[in-house]
Amino acid sequence: MVPVLNEAANIEPLVTEIADALAAMHPFELIYVDDASQDDTFSVIRSVAAAHKWVRAYKHDRTCGQSAAQRTAILRARAPVIVTMDGDGQNDPADVVALVEALEARAPDSRLAMVAGERQRREDSLAKRLSSRIANRVRRALLSDGSRDIGCGLKAFDRAAYLELPYFDHIHRFYPALIRREGYEVNYVDVGHRRRWKGSSKYGLFDRLGVGIVDLAGTFWLTRRRRLTRISEL
């Protein structure tokens, strides 16, 4: 599933790449959620969906953010395994195969519920790379989630595990910690990273910092207010 905001120019090339990369994985569905774009994003998605029956489209009537857009898609998904990715072309759809294969290779009694990508050789500005490095270190120290790159949009996980998580805005930044909070395991796979194709980033350094501190504190509190127990059935 792909949440988007003002990404009209990136829709068609990304769908083409996804179709090529996942040709051997049919059947699958691609769910786009337009978070109230002000350009032609939704009309382009509708055109693509008309040509590809495996593409589904939803649109918010107002901008709600990436976590809300992901939730819209996940609640409407029909498949038991969900893959999230960004809509700007920076994630390579070819990496989806490795994530799904790593998740589906688990043993029947495994508690593995998520395989998250970690970007190699990031094609971002120096300021963005440095800020992410600092944020990742602080988050990892507080939450002990094992992730060195929480900002990577590529993640494969069980839909059922996601539905057990407490929902709040910006939750997508803390999936690994919250998945582990429910007693599941998370693995990580190295993935590629590319320059944004067209358009501009929807996130700035200072707006991410402000909400990030509050959300990190809330997630820290949540991870320490959960007591796991094994339940036996007669």
Q: At what angle do helices 8-21 and 94-104 cross, to 10 degrees?
A: 50
Note whether residue 87 is domain-resident.
yes
pLDDT digits 0-9 by tens, 139-152 = 777 887 878 888 89
Q: Is residue 221 very low, low, confident or very high in pLDDT (cuts 50, 70, 90)?
A: confident
Cβ-based neighbour number of residue 79 at 10 Å: 12
Averaged confidence pLDDT in the chain: 89
Portion of the chain with pLDDT greater than 90, in percent: 67
User: What range defines the domain where residue 213 resides?
Assistant: 2-223
Mention every residue, 6+ apart, whose C-beta is less than 8 A from residue 42: 34, 57, 59
Note whether residue 230 is domain-resident.
no
Kindly report the CATH number assigned to the domain that includes residue 62. Answer: 3.90.550.10
Cβ-based neighbour number of residue 229 at 10 Å: 6
Number of domains in the chain: 1
Note whether residue 40 is domain-resident.
yes
Note whether residue 141 is domain-resident.
yes
pTM of the prediction? 0.86
Note whether residue 132 is domain-resident.
yes
Note whether residue 229 is domain-resident.
no
pLDDT digits 0-9 by tens, 98-138 = 999 999 999 999 999 999 999 987 766 666 667 667 776 77
Is the predicted pLDDT of residue 208 greater than 60, yes or no?
no
Residue positions counted in the chain: 234
Note whether residue 127 is domain-resident.
yes
pLDDT digits 0-9 by tens, 68-106 = 999 999 999 999 999 999 999 999 999 999 999 999 999
Note whether residue 14 is domain-resident.
yes
